[in-house]
Structure formats: structure tokens, C-alpha cells
Amino acid sequence: MQIKRLTASISVRGCRRLRSAAGLQMLLLMVFAITATGAEIVTNDRHLVRYDTGVVYDTETGLEWYAGPDEGTSWQEAKNWTTGLDAHGGGWRMPTRRELKALHHIGDGVNNITFLLYNSGFWIWAGQTRDTSSRWIFSFSYGGEGWPGFPPADGGRAIAVRPRRVY
């Protein structure tokens, strides 16, 4: 039933993509993804696939993403939220600088990040720290990163990441 819906949805939305080898590869990844997770694909954006669970799967890196509350938060609040998150099997953590940079794409949504991981802020906290007063943060507005000792004006946001889970 799920595969039938996926095929119908892909034939309507992605028929242009299937004309290339990359399109066929994406189709096969999406079919595998649906059978591996038991979740239903809602939409996709380039190499990112969003499920009805809210989990976003990156077919290039093998990582799963989960958007945090869309509100300003401190680094410690972001860390507590990600490490305490037990949604869809748990195992979530804060992303690294490199992982956040891979999500940055000029022209994506309002904040240069895929609409699949919507948030209204421009800054997302990373897991690295320099010392007790400096936390790593990534700016999706221009792709910059830094070690501020305080949250930015709009507050940082939290996004959780983990390696792909097969259910």
C-alpha cells in the first residue's frame, strides 16, 4: 500500500527527474527508505527526504535530522533538548559544524536551509565548545560560524541529528 502511494506520488511529482540516472537513483533510495523505516515519505528537496514522522533523511550523508522547537534557545537548552530527545528511537545529538555547513544552501527557504527543517531563526547551535563560556554556532543567513559567549539576538535554534536508523 505504501509503495503504491509512493509510486503514484513520484510519477506525478517527479516524472522529470526519472529521465536521468540520478532521478532513478533517487527513486530507488526513496523506495528503500520507505520499506526500511515503515514511515511514509511526505516530500523531498534535492537529496533530503521528509517522512510523516518529521524525520528528514539525507540520502547523501546517511544522516537523519529532526527540527527542534522554533524558538530562541541557549546552547545548554539546545544540548538538553537534543540529548533528551527520544522521538523515533532516540540516539539524537547536536550536529557538528561540518554537518550544519552541509545543510547550508543559498536560496533554500527564507534562511538558506531546506524548508524540510523549517525554523524562523538564522542561527543553529553546534555541539562543539571551546570553553565554558564559548559555544559554536552556525549562521544560515550567510554561512558564517563562530564562538559567541552568548546567544544571538534571535536566539539560537536546535536541530538534532543521528546516523540513519533502520526500523
pLDDT at 107: 66
What pLDDT score was predicted for residue 23? 53
Report the mean per-residue pLDDT for the chain.
Answer: 75
pLDDT in tens, 148-162: 666 677 778 999 999
Grade residue 99 by pLDDT with cuts at 50, 70 and 90. very high
pLDDT at site 27: 45
Which tens digit of pLDDT belongs to each residue from 45-58? Answer: 888 999 999 999 99
3-state secondary structure at position 56: strand
Instruction: Place 12 in a pLDDT band, splitting at 50, 70 and 90.
Output: very low
Which pLDDT value is given to residue 152? 75
Identify the H or E element spanning 7: helix 2-13
Give me the percent of the chain exceeding a pLDDT of 70. 67
pLDDT confidence bin for 21, thresholds 50/70/90 = low
Query: Is pLDDT of 72 > 70?
Result: yes
E-assigned strand segments in the chain = 41-45, 48-51, 56-58, 63-67, 123-131, 134-139, 145-146, 159-163
Q: How is the chain split into domains, by residue range? A: 2-163
Q: How far apart are CA 126 and CA 95, in angstroms?
A: 5
Q: Which residue has the cell 538558506?
A: 112
Report phi then psi at 36, rounded to 5: -75, -35
SS3 content of the chain, % helix, strand, coil (to 5): 35, 25, 40
Q: Angle at the Cα of 117 (from 21 to 57), degrees rounded to 5?
A: 40
Specify the residue for cell string 544560515. Answer: 140
Distance (Å, rounded) from C-alpha 134 to C-alpha 140? 19
